[in-house]
Amino acid sequence: MLILGRMLLGFGVGFTAQAAPLYLAETAPAKWRGAFTTAYNFFLVLGTLAATVTNYFTNRIPDWGWHVSLGLAGVPATIVVLGAIFVPDTPSSLVMRGHADMARASLQRIRGADADVDNEFKDIVVAVEEARRNNEGAFERLRGKGYRHYMVMMVAIPAFFDLTGMIVISVFSPVLFRTVGFNSQKSVLGSVILSLVNLSSVAVSTFVVDRAGRRFLFLVGGIAMMFCQVAVAWILAEHLGRHHATTMARNYAYGVLALTCMYTFSFGLSWGPLKWVVPSEIYPVEIRSAGQAMTIAIALTLSFAQTQVFITLLCSLKYAIFFFYAGWVLAMTIFMAALLPETKGVPLEAMRSVWAKHWYWRRFVRDAKLDSQVNCL
C-alpha cells in the first residue's frame, strides 16, 4: 500500500508541476507574471520546510508517529483539490477548446469587473487562430526547425537546474556540517537554517523578479553560486584534504556554514524559482502544454538519474565535487547571458517578438514564419 501510495503521489506531483505554473502564467498580468509563478516555488519550499518540521516532531511519537506524519500530508492535498474547484479555467485554454464566450467571462473575472479586457482578449484569440493554421500536433511542431529555440531551452533549463549542485546542500548538508566539525544536533540545526534561508530568498525573488528581470537574476545568482562553491572547495581542500585532518578550525567551519547559506540564498533568488517561471512563459500557445510537459519530464528524469550516481560521484571527487558543480554553474551562466532573451513584462501572446529580436534565435523565428506561410498555401 505504501508503494502504491507513493506511485499515486508521484502522479499527483507530476500533474501539479505541469499545470500549476502554466495556470499562473496564463492568468497573471504580464507585469506581475514572474511574481505569481515564483509564488509556486515559494509554497514548494514552505511545504518542504513544514514537512521537515512535522517529521521532526512526529518521529518522537513511538510506534505510530509515522501514521500521523502520512495522515497530515493529506491536509495540503485536500486544500489543493478544494481550491481547484473554485478557480476558473484560463482564457487561453477555453479559446483553444472553442469556448470564446466562456474565455472572455473567465478573463473578466480574473482581471476584475471594472477592467477593460478587450485588447487582451483579442490578442489571445489572434494567437490561438494563428496556431490553428497549422494542423500539426504540438509534439510534431517541436521537431520543426522553427521551434528549435524552444527545444534547446526545454532541455537546457532542467538540465542546468540539476547541475547547480543544490543536491549537495539540500540532501547532504548534515553530512557536510558533521564533516567540518559540528556535532549531530548542530548539523541538523544548520539544515534548518538553510531551509529558512532558502525560503527567505524565494520571497525576495518574488518581489524583484519583475523589476530586475529574469536574465539579471540568472547572472547574479550564477556568479554568487560559483563563488561560494569554489570557496567551500578551497576551504575543504586546504583544511581537510591536504593534511588528512578529520576536523577543521571552528572559524573555518563557520565559514563553510556562511558560504552554504550564501549559496542557498543565491540559488533561491535565481535558479530555484526561475526554473518554473521561464519555461511557463516562453512557449507559444500551440506548444505550451507539450513544452511544459517535456520540461517537467526531463527535470524529473535527470533528478532521478543524479540521485542514483551522486554518492559514487561524491566518494570519488570528495571536496572537488564543488569544483565540478562550479564549472557547470559557469557554463550555465554564460549560456543564459548569451542565449536567453529577457521576457519580463512581455504578454504571452507577444512572446515571439522577444525571440525575433534576439541576435541568434531570430533565424529560427524567421523559419517558423516561412513554414507557416507554406502550410497555409
- C-alpha span between 83 and 43 (Å, rounded): 15
pLDDT at 93: 92
Q: Are 165 and 322 in contact (CB under 8 A)?
A: yes
pLDDT at 376: 46
pLDDT at 377: 45
Q: Are 284 and 25 in contact (CB under 8 A)?
A: no
- C-alpha span between 340 and 207 (Å, rounded): 21
Question: What CATH code would you report for 2-87+134-368?
Answer: 1.20.1250.20
pLDDT at 312: 87
pLDDT at 173: 74
Identify the three-state secondary structure at position 157: helix
Give the three cell numbers for residue 210: 519583475
For residue 130, the tally of other CB atoms under 10 A from its CB is 15
pLDDT at 240: 67
Least Cα distance to 225 among 180, 192, 172, 270 occurs for 270
Q: Are 285 and 236 in contact (CB under 8 A)?
A: no
Q: 10-residue block means of pLDDT along the chain (377 residues)? A: 84 90 94 95 88 77 80 86 90 93 94 91 91 80 86 95 86 72 68 87 95 96 96 84 60 85 94 95 92 93 87 85 94 96 93 92 71 48
Alpha helical stretches, state H, the chain: 2-27, 33-58, 65-72, 74-86, 91-96, 100-111, 118-132, 138-142, 148-162, 166-179, 184-212, 214-236, 250-269, 271-282, 288-317, 321-339, 351-356, 362-376
Q: What are the distances in angstroms from CA 184 to CA 130, 188, 191, 303?
A: 60, 6, 11, 27
